[in-house]
Structures are given as C-alpha cells and as structure tokens.
C-alpha cells in the first residue's frame, strides 16, 4: 500500500496528516486517529501556545516558534476551527486589522533601523501574507475576511516580484538590500497565498512571483537580493517549511502547474530526489534548534515529517 513505510515509522500526529492529506481518507472516518494526534504532548503544547497569539513579539521571521508558524503547521496537518485553541488564535488575528484589510502582528523595530523603538501592531510583507493564508486555511469567508487584504498586498507587486514593504507604523524600516530588488521571502509567501485563491492563481502577480523565484534559482550564483541566498545552506533539506529553503520554495512552486515542466523547477525536484534513501525516506541536512523535540529537529536519521513534505510536493506533479 502506498505510503505504508512512512505510516509505519510515523508518530500519531503525523499518521493523521498522512491518511488525510496523502491517502485522502475522509476526515469523518479519522476521528480516533485525530484524537490520538491531539493527545500528543507536542501538539497539545503548540495548541496551548497559539491561544496567546500576539503575546510573542515578532522580531525575527526565521523562527518556527512564532505563533503564526505553529498555527500554519497545525492547519497543514489537518486540524481546523473545531479545535478551540485554533479558533481562539484565529479570533486574535481578526482583532487586529488595518483600514485596508491587512492583519497586523505585534512588532518592535529599533530607531536605528528606521522604526519607532516601541511595541506596536503593524505589518511587514514578510508576515502579513501568512496571517491571510492562515485565515484562508481555517475556512473563513474569503470575501469578508481575506479578499480586501489580499487585494491591497497584490497592489504592491512589481515587475520583478514583491518588494520589502511595511506599514506606516514601522516608519522607514527596510531590509538590507537595494530598494528596487524584490524580497525573495515576501515573494515566496505571496506566491503561496495566491496559489490557494482561484481569482489570483493565474494572475499576473502570481506568474511574476513564480518566475521571480525561478530566476533566482537560475541566477543563484550572482543574485542575492536582501541577502537571501540559494547556495549550499538553501539546498539542504530542512523542516518545517517556515523560511527560505529548497523544500519551502519547491513546495510553493509545485502548486503551480505552469512550472511543472520548467527545467529550473525540474532541476530543483531532481536535487531533492537525489537525497532520498533506499527506503524512500529523507533525512534532514539542517535543523532548527527550537524543533529538537520533533523528528525533523535532528540530522542523524530519516525524518517522517520531512519525508511527508517531500511526498506532498511529488504528489502535485502527477
């Protein structure tokens, strides 16, 4: 049976995701395994920690411990608004929205970086799309809660992708790069967001974003906008997909059928498949210290969750 090896070595929380998202078994038939998954102490801890959604200051976006990353992790596993803690997190997101429909995070940009030096609700283009994506995956009404913010963010798109952009509350803050460059991470998460929205999936903004990512791969030796590299570290297999690495980028690109035959995309897929062992599994080559409790937080043994992420990418290519 397909995916049986992966199921055999997975913990309960991942068994639920595999059966739901890889085997496509009906959610209604997975009640017992869902309950077992939610009983895992790590899942319970994540659920507990997302309820105080804005209690963590967003100062570094490369952080799997941010509540938005934990919420997206849980939603991607298949948990939903029926879980009280997820509903509480979503309600917290909804409570801080600017006049354009963009949801805000609690941040603090020091004065010497162009900010106010104070804790303030604001948004950056490297976090706002993630909040909209979480609401979308949680099943909220698109027209009412999501479309206004998406429309506003899409209006920021340029011919080379999405820029480093922030809300007025953050003053003149901008990342370390040329103002005319695209921000690769903002472009990545905007491409991810747009891939789930029918009216935007084939839009100019989506196509520009996808092409920008492919061009960065093609020119990886010479183009490093905002200090985002596609070099040795980028090419190491890593989970969760919360930053700018080959699994994250390929995962987003795989959602666009228009790139499936692009030689640059196929090269990225070939690179990942070359890391697969004889059992079809993948071992992390890099790991977040904050993820050491999970199977993907080490580099010595195959990771069921990393393998799951790769299998989901491959499944989209059929």
For 138, residues 6+ apart whose C-beta sits below 8 A from its C-beta are 75, 80, 81, 86, 90
Instruction: Compute the average pLDDT of residues 298-305.
Output: 98
Per-residue pLDDT band at 108 (split at 50, 70, 90): confident
Q: What is the pLDDT of residues 9-25, one digit of tens each?
A: 999 999 999 999 999 99
Q: Is 286 inside a domain boundary?
A: no
Q: Is 4 inside a domain boundary?
A: yes
Q: What is the pLDDT of residues 208-230, one digit of tens each?
A: 999 999 999 999 989 999 999 99
Q: Is 270 inside a domain boundary?
A: no
Instruction: Compute the average pLDDT of residues 194-200.
Output: 98
**What pLDDT score does 163 carry?**
96
**What pLDDT score does 132 carry?**
98
**What pLDDT score does 176 carry?**
79
Say if residue 5's pLDDT is above 80. Answer: yes
Tell me how many degrees the CA angle 36-93-24 measures, rounded to the nearest 5.
35
For 186, residues 6+ apart whose C-beta sits below 8 A from its C-beta are 124, 125, 126, 129, 161, 162, 163, 164, 165
**What pLDDT score does 113 carry?**
67
Say if residue 175's pLDDT is above 90. Answer: no
Q: Is 138 inside a domain boundary?
A: no
User: Cα dihedral angle (22, 26, 28, 34), rounded to 10 degrees?
Assistant: -10
For 217, residues 6+ apart whose C-beta sits below 8 A from its C-beta are 230, 249, 264, 267, 268
- For 30, the domain range is 1-39
**What pLDDT score does 77 carry?**
98
Total tally of structural domains belonging to the chain: 1
Q: Is 238 inside a domain boundary?
A: no
Say if residue 112's pLDDT is above 80. Answer: no
Percentage, residues of the chain above pLDDT 70: 98
Per-residue pLDDT band at 114 (split at 50, 70, 90): low
Say if residue 46's pLDDT is above 90. Answer: yes
**What pLDDT score does 206 carry?**
98
Task: Report the range of poorest mean pLDDT among 21-35, 110-124, 162-176.
Answer: 110-124
Per-residue pLDDT band at 60 (split at 50, 70, 90): confident
Per-residue pLDDT band at 1 (split at 50, 70, 90): low
Element (H, E) at 89: helix 84-94
Q: Is 164 inside a domain boundary?
A: no
Q: What is the pLDDT of residues 302-315, one digit of tens each?
A: 999 999 999 999 99
Say if residue 115's pLDDT is above 80. Answer: no
**What pLDDT score does 192 carry?**
98
Q: What is the pLDDT of residues 272-296, one digit of tens each?
A: 999 999 999 999 999 999 999 999 9
Instruction: Compute the average pLDDT of residues 123-151.
Output: 97
Q: Is 27 inside a domain boundary?
A: yes
């Amino acid at each position: 049976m397909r995916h049986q090896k992966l199921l055999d070595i997975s913990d309960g929380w991942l068994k639920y995701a595999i059966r739901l998202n890889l085997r496509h078994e009906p959610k209604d038939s997975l009640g017992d395994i869902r309950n077992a998954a939610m009983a895992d102490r790590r899942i319970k801890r994540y659920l507990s920690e997302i309820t105080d959604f804005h209690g963590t200051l967003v100062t570094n976006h490369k952080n799997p411990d941010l509540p938005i990353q934990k919420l997206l992790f849980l939603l991607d596993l298949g948990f939903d608004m029926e879980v009280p803690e997820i509903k509480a997190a979503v309600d917290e997101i909804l409570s801080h929205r600017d006049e354009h429909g963009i949801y805000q995070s609690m941040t603090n940009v020091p004065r010497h970086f162009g900010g106010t030096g104070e804790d303030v609700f604001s948004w950056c283009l490297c976090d706002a799309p993630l909040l909209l994506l979480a609401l979308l995956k949680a099943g909220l009404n698109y027209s009412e809660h999501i479309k206004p913010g998406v429309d506003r963010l899409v209006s920021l798109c340029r011919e080379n992708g999405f820029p480093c952009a922030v809300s007025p509350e953050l003053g003149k803050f901008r990342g370390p790069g040329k103002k005319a460059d695209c921000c690769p991470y903002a472009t990545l998460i905007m491409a991810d967001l747009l891939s789930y929205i029918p009216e935007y999936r084939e839009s100019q903004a989506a196509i520009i974003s996808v092409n920008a990512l492919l061009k960065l791969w093609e020119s990886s030796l010479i183009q490093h906008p905002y200090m985002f590299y596609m070099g040795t570290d980028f090419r190491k297999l890593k989970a969760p997909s919360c930053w700018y690495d080959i699994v994250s980028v390929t995962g987003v690109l795989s959602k666009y059928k228009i790139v499936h035959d692009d030689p640059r995309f196929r090269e990225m897929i070939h690179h990942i498949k070359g890391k697969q062992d004889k059992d079809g599994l993948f071992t992390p080559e890099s790991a977040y210290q904050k993820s050491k409790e999970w199977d993907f937080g080490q580099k010595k043994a195959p990771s069921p969750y990393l393998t799951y992420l790769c299998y989901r990418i491959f499944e989209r290519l059929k």
